[in-house]
Amino acid sequence: MKSSATTANATPLRGGYAPGLARATISFVSLARTATADTGRRQRHMGFLGFLRPASIIVRLLLPAAVAAAGFSLPAAADEIYLSENDAPTAVFPDADRFERHDMTASPELHELISRRSGRVQPSYWEASYPVFSAWKEGKLLGRAVIVEEVGKHRNITFIVGVSPDSSVAGVAIMTYREAYGAEVRSRRFLAQYRGKGNDDPLMPGRDIRYISGATLSFQAIGRGIRKAIAVADTVAAQATGQETGDESSE
């Protein structure tokens, strides 16, 4: 699925741009020397490391500004891709012997259903459609796997949710993680906590999901995405059986 995340344009710090960067770096180093000269003299009794400490602090503060003055931007963190779209359905339904894909359009009616089920904490609605994979084994429907995206702290997380016919979670797997922190959410041990849960569960860290420091927003994003995926899977199920999708759906 094509990601809707935007990546900041970054000018590479490589050979052809060295002169401009060098001039900016020289300017910033001169400023750092002036700012630290008196401090260095006062701290000579502390030895060489005592002199370097204030200088290193100023370097960390001024280097980004020097790079920006030269017309550069620091590159964004690379996307961590763990599962392709072709491999993702198997991650949540490993016993399936075949999958059928159905792209579910993100209609106003579907958004209304998702909103109603999500309650106070609303998910994102930027996807134009949701890839849905019906999982089968020996002619029996195991459930449906839905690919969704939700924003963690700054950037979106792409993951797949397996939804059983009774609308409970069969499995969750991270496909692409773009945040700088909170990558613990991609571990199988952590994601196993969601199995068997459904719309009536909090799906919140510190309540029914184990809390890990530094990943709270990523956990919340997973919970919002799960509710969205269940609503999508229930809508597909209702269409397949010719039923109306309400607050509670079953196949």
In the block, residue with structure tokens 């209304």: 112
Confidence of residue 215 (pLDDT cuts 50, 70, 90): confident
Distance separating alpha carbons of residues 146 and 85, to the nearest angstrom: 11
- 119-153 pLDDT, tens digit per residue, is 887 888 889 999 999 999 999 999 999 999 999 88
In the block, residue with structure tokens 């790079």: 67
- Provide the pLDDT for residue 78: 58
- Provide the pLDDT for residue 223: 92
Between residues 77 and 93, the one the model is more confident about: 93
Distance separating alpha carbons of residues 232 and 239, to the nearest angstrom: 11
Residues in the chain: 251
Q: Which two tokens stand for residue 164?
A: 């059983």
**Looking at the predicted structure, is the pLDDT value of residue 17 above 90?**
no
- Provide the pLDDT for residue 25: 45
**Looking at the predicted structure, is the pLDDT value of residue 250 above 70?**
no
- Provide the pLDDT for residue 243: 61
- Provide the pLDDT for residue 234: 94
Between residues 87 and 32, the one the model is more confident about: 87
Distance separating alpha carbons of residues 149 and 226, to the nearest angstrom: 10
Between residues 29 and 102, the one the model is more confident about: 102
- 90-120 pLDDT, tens digit per residue, is 999 999 999 999 999 999 999 999 998 888 8
Q: Which whole number is the average pLDDT over 72-101?
A: 83
Q: How far is CA 145 from CA 23, 165, 188, in A?
A: 54, 11, 17
First-residue to last-residue Cα distance in the chain:
26
Q: Which whole number is the average pLDDT over 186-215?
A: 88
- Provide the pLDDT for residue 90: 98
Confidence of residue 216 (pLDDT cuts 50, 70, 90): confident
Q: Which amino acid is at 76?
A: A
The pTM (predicted TM-score) of the whole model is 0.66
Q: Is the dihedral of CA 197, 141, 93, 177 positive or negative?
A: negative
Q: In what order do the strands lie in the sheet with 129-137?
A: 80-81, 169-177, 156-163, 140-151, 129-137, 98-105
Torsion of CA 8, 14, 20, 23, to 10 degrees: 110
Q: Are 99 and 126 contacting, i.e. CB atoms less than 8 angstroms apart?
A: no
Confidence of residue 71 (pLDDT cuts 50, 70, 90): very low
- Provide the pLDDT for residue 244: 53
β-sheet bridge partners, residue 144: 134, 163
Confidence of residue 242 (pLDDT cuts 50, 70, 90): confident
Q: Which whole number is the average pLDDT over 151-172?
A: 94
Confidence of residue 218 (pLDDT cuts 50, 70, 90): confident
Mean pLDDT, the chain, rounded, equals: 75
